Structure 1
Amino acid sequence: MTALGSFGIMVGANSVPLLAALILEALVGYPDAFHRRIPHPVTWVGRLIGGLDEVWNKGSAAVQRWTGIGLVLTLIVLPAAIGLALEHVLTGWFGIALMIAIATTGLAQRSLYLHVRKVLKPLKERNLVDARKRLSMIVGRDTGELDEKAIAAAATESLAESFCDGIVAPAFWFLIAGLPGLFVFKAISTADSQIGHLDNRYRYFGWAAARTDDVMNFIPARIAGCLICIAAPGGWRIMLRDARKHLSPNAGWSEAAMAGALSVQMGGGAAYEGEWIARATLGDGRRPEAADLRVALSIYLRACLLLWLAVGALIWAL
């Protein structure tokens, strides 16, 4: 059997559990009652990264780059080994059901929707204090001085970018590499969130994590942008025009698609931990408002449904 044939068989075998995991996660997510007893696996990865950061993020720029590479290798080998071990023991119908449940922990359809909706509610009521507080839970930028339009823009950008990072990309890596692929992606994505910054502390130590995250998101980012454009066709022109303006090689695809779908302008400079970062604008026209964030949530739901349909089409084709 050719390598291509083997790959097709693997994708076909993973597509049914993936569709089941997408549907199950959308319905129940990671319940708070369960989280209080067993913290979400991402928190375990975060603690590991934090510990390695404290021990390894020292020395010259060259040393920090090498130890950062060591951290990335750790976050590839360890999660992949755990994923392979689980796939080896999770056999039979019960094992497949448990694998589906485990896979839901790598997806964030429900939690992303709920977190953004928690920003929308006080924003519509013009309770900017509460809206900023809710927003700070989903974005990395400083939120203390943001006005209504800036809050709406930040939440909309986060929704669009996280559609890739939290849904399309983990689904993609589960599809092509099962639990090992999903676990490695989530570990690298978490590392990018924690240490993949351009500030003085992480400029060198976080370099490898940020670049690896860029590679792993390259294809999913473009898929995510296309799904948003299909969900709201007005996004195609702006996505193709503005996606490459973003500082990230990937985030601009879904953000520009959403800006075009809403006929608004997103992006622009923002402060991160007191440091102003210049960023290009994406899209044309006015800045987003609360009503646009509500529409963005509707587009997001349609894009999630399109992802389900795409996986279902793979099941039918393979």
Structure 2
Amino acid sequence: MTVDRLPGLPSAVTICEVGPRDGLQNESALVPAAVKVELVERLADAGHTVIETTSLVRPDRVPQLADAEEVLRRLDRRPGVRYPVLVPNQRGLARALDFGVTDIAVFASATEGFARANLNRSVGESLELFAPVVARAREAGLNVRGYLSMCWGDPWQGEVSLRQVIAIATRLFNLGCTELSLGDTIGVATPGRVVALLDGLVAADVPLGRIAVHFHDTYGQALANTLAALQRGVTTVDASAGGLGGCPFAKSATGNLATEDLLWQLDGLGIHTGVDLTKLAETSAWLAGHLGRPSPSRTLRALTGA
């Protein structure tokens, strides 16, 4: 591939691969634990260094990830690779610590409607729930990612004001999170609004180096939004192998930004990720076979026909 750099872009980007958790949680069919473990190991083989592995939530809430403990038991965790696990509360954190997890994530909302749908709590109540989880995790030496969903819009409220998002984002970050991931859960953001939120957070003393972006491609804006964020200084991008994912608690949330599509862009810009596109495409095509349907990733289809 010909490399043509653009000014103002980072030389390297960390991809947080969210397919095994955020991707598979929205599948209608249950994926066997053995397949999930092989998926994570294939992603590591492809060069991923951050692979969100599973979620220690109640099985009745997300039955697709009810086998989380089995996956963690069977997984061969490699040096140099981080395997974040989503935890909902202190009980989930205790389970994570029992399995030797070194990275966790908590999942908050910028809107009351989604907080109620996802956590059955208000925004304020959910942050109170997470405060001791984050504090205990940090005391144990864990990295803690704070997800903030619905940063640009949600199905109940519509467009979400920047002031509202910045207020909640700073509260979440100040709990002690080591990273803040901004989620465009229903895919309505556009580049100008992405930059405006990033600028607002920097003005509120949240460092760009601690911010990640998590875009969904509902309106075809995920790559454009990613490029805008990179030009502003963000260096961590969430993506899902094969474009899997959505959100079981927000029905208008379609698939995540496909990792293959992201890699095609980053490779063409000469931005280092350490991820091998060919190996990743082979993995996503293999997974599409297990799921029994084609991938929505345009790059994957172009490379493999999957």
TM category, shorter: under 0.3
Q: Which has the larger radius of gyration?
A: 1
More strand by share: 2
Compute the TM-score of the two structures, normalised by the length of structure 2.
0.25
Compute the TM-score of the two structures, normalised by the length of structure 1.
0.24
